[in-house]
């Protein structure tokens, strides 16, 4: 199977597979089709990737079914699954530099960030779930008399389709693959057609770790074809998807029209951050900057709506403009860069359209709002701050998925809560206050699956993550994450009682 050598801007090259990975074997698409991926710093092609066809999906399902019935699932001790997963994590750690280089090259995020955050977090997630592999269990109910009992068994969904987003490719791979493997599922991974490189690189490490053929399969392709084929396949028992609300709805329709496969969805967000006047505004501004401009704003939990008490509005706005100026906009390979390009020209155009639309609706762009920088060929949009926004504006209502921060004042706790909850989505929210009773009240009443108090955007492998309202259902991470991949069976056992 073909391998492409990608030249690194800092010198040297890194080899990456460009095929389809089925049953621990590399192959080309059965259709012969491929698609290009692009470097977001210059919009030039990086590589040509095989495009998995409907036939490839079907072949993968049959391979995964054989693996589940013979070498994985309940066919081996859960401690053996854990051992293989720990080995895979060790191999990822060994190859951190290669994986970080691919992640940075493919997504445009700074190499320092990919090396110091994305890859280590993926490794930590894999180890967390390896540790849970032998710790899921059912219950025994012995209240039915001396000759009968009921016990429950937690058994894996045999075959799971996992559709990965483009903003954190290796981390989201770990969030989905790790609990599924620990539970005993066989998986069909469809990485984003924009960022497949690290998912493909991990396949050879899976072989080296000793993962049996058919357990981890990777099918690059477009969502409208490969993704659709996976979500509609009658042999797939579960789908886990992270992405847009509109695509999540289509996946639910596909489940309803086929085999009613289980579905978990982590969808869009429009996360509010509420800042009361009794806090250190300097510290709050640091967290807000990280929450909106980390990953160049391409984050489902991006704190894109900031509501600041009117008494300190002007002071806080000045501090956020200062934070924007501190960002080091640059090429991903530069160790100093903390703000890279957006993923694609299409995403750049979308974000710029939101900014121009805000101006037309009467909002005021007080910082940024442009793609003009020293890298004209790439997909940059500079950090942007918008004020004079109203609740009916698109920049307030819709997820932008870019580095655009909207700041508005509030006068009371009640008004702040109303503004924050005025959204069809509810993925995350933030509160900054030194009044802990206030923090408890607000946390209880915010309509979001995750609430951060006096911090923002930090996750823990041990804490569940997932949204309310149109931000989806089901959870990644934590014990809840592995439970998403387990089915409960009740066994009523009669020892000898007669009817």
Tokens in use for 153? 């068994």
d(CA 176, CA 162): 7
Give Cα 220 to chain centroid, integer Å: 17
**Inter-residue contact 189 to 169 (CB < 8 Å):** no
Burial tier of 358 (Cβ tally within 10 Å: 0-12, 13-18, 19+): buried
Tokens in use for 269? 């967000």
**Inter-residue contact 446 to 420 (CB < 8 Å):** yes
d(CA 110, CA 465): 25
Q: What is the 3-state secondary structure (H, E, C) of 427-490?
A: CEEEEECCCHHHHHHHHHHCCCCEEEECCCCCCCCCCCECCEECCEECCECHHHHHHCCEEEEE
Say if strands 186-190 and 159-163 run parallel, antiparallel, or are unpaired: parallel
Tokens in use for 274? 């509420």
**Inter-residue contact 404 to 384 (CB < 8 Å):** yes
Q: What is the CA radius of gyration of the chain?
A: 24
- State yes or no: is 266 an active-site residue: yes
d(CA 411, CA 307): 10
Question: Helix, strand, coil: what percent of the chain each, to 5?
Answer: 40, 25, 35
Backbone angles phi, psi at 191, to 5 degrees: -70, 160
Helix (H, G, I), strand (E, B) or coil at 159: strand
**Inter-residue contact 133 to 79 (CB < 8 Å):** yes
Catalytic residue among 266, 399, 447, 484, which?
Answer: 266
d(CA 347, CA 18): 24
Torsion over CA: 78, 84, 89, 90 (sign): positive
**Inter-residue contact 246 to 222 (CB < 8 Å):** no
Residues belonging to the active site? 266
């Amino acid at each position: 199977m073909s391998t492409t050598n990608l030249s690194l801007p800092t010198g040297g090259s890194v080899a990456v597979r460009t095929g389809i990975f089925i049953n621990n074997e590399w192959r080309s698409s059965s259709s012969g089709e491929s698609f290009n991926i692009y470097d977001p710093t210059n919009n030039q092609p990086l590589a040509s990737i095989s495009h998995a066809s409907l036939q490839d999906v079907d072949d993968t399902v049959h391979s995964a079914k054989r693996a589940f019935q013979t070498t994985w699932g309940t066919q081996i001790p859960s401690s053996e699954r854990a051992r293989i997963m720990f080995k895979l994590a060790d191999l990822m750690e060994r190859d951190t530099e290669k994986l970080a280089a691919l992640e940075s090259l493919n997504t445009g995020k700074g190499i320092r960030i990919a090396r110091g955050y994305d890859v280590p977090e993926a490794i930590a997630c894999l180890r967390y779930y390896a540790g849970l592999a032998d710790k899921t269990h059912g219950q025994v109910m012995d209240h039915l008399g001396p000759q009968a009992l009921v016990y429950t068994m937690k058994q894996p969904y045999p075959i799971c389709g996992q559709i990965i987003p483009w903003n954190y490719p290796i981390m989201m791979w770990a969030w989905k693959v790790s609990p599924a493997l620990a539970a005993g599922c066989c998986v069909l991974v469809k990485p984003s057609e924009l960022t497949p490189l690290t998912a493909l690189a991990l396949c050879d490490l899976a072989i080296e770790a000793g993962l049996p053929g058919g357990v981890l399969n990777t099918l690059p392709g477009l969502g409208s074809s490969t993704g659709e084929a996976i979500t509609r396949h009658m042999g797939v028992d579960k789908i886990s998807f992270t992405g847009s609300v509109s695509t999540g709805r289509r996946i639910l329709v596909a489940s309803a029209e086929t085999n009613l496969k289980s579905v978990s969805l982590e969808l869009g967000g429009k996360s509010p951050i509420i800042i009361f006047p009794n806090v250190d505004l300097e510290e709050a501004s640091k967290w807000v900057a990280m929450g909106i401009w980390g990953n160049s704003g391409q984050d489902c939990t991006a704190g894109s709506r900031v509501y600041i008490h009117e008494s300190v509005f002007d002071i806080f706005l000045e501090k956020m403009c200062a934070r924007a100026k501190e960002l080091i906009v640059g090429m991903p390979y530069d160790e100093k860069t903390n703000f890279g390009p957006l993923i694609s020209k299409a995403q750049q155009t979308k974000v710029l359209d939101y900014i121009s639309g805000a101006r037309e609706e009467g909002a005021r762009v007080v910082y940024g709002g442009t793609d003009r920088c020293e890298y004209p060929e790439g997909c940059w949009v500079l950090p942007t701050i918008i004020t004079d926004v109203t609740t009916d504006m698109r920049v307030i209502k819709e997820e932008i998925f870019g580095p655009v921060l909207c700041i508005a004042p509030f006068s009371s706790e009640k008004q702040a809560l109303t503004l924050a909850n005025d959204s069809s989505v509810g993925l995350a929210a933030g509160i900054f206050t030194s009044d802990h009773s206030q923090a408890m009240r607000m946390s209880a009443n915010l309509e979001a699956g995750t609430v951060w108090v006096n911090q923002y955007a930090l996750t823990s492998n041990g804490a569940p993550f997932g949204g309310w309202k149109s931000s989806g259902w089901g959870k990644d991470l934590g014990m809840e994450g592995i439970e998403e991949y387990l089915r409960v069976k009740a066994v009523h056992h009669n020892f000898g009682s007669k009817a």
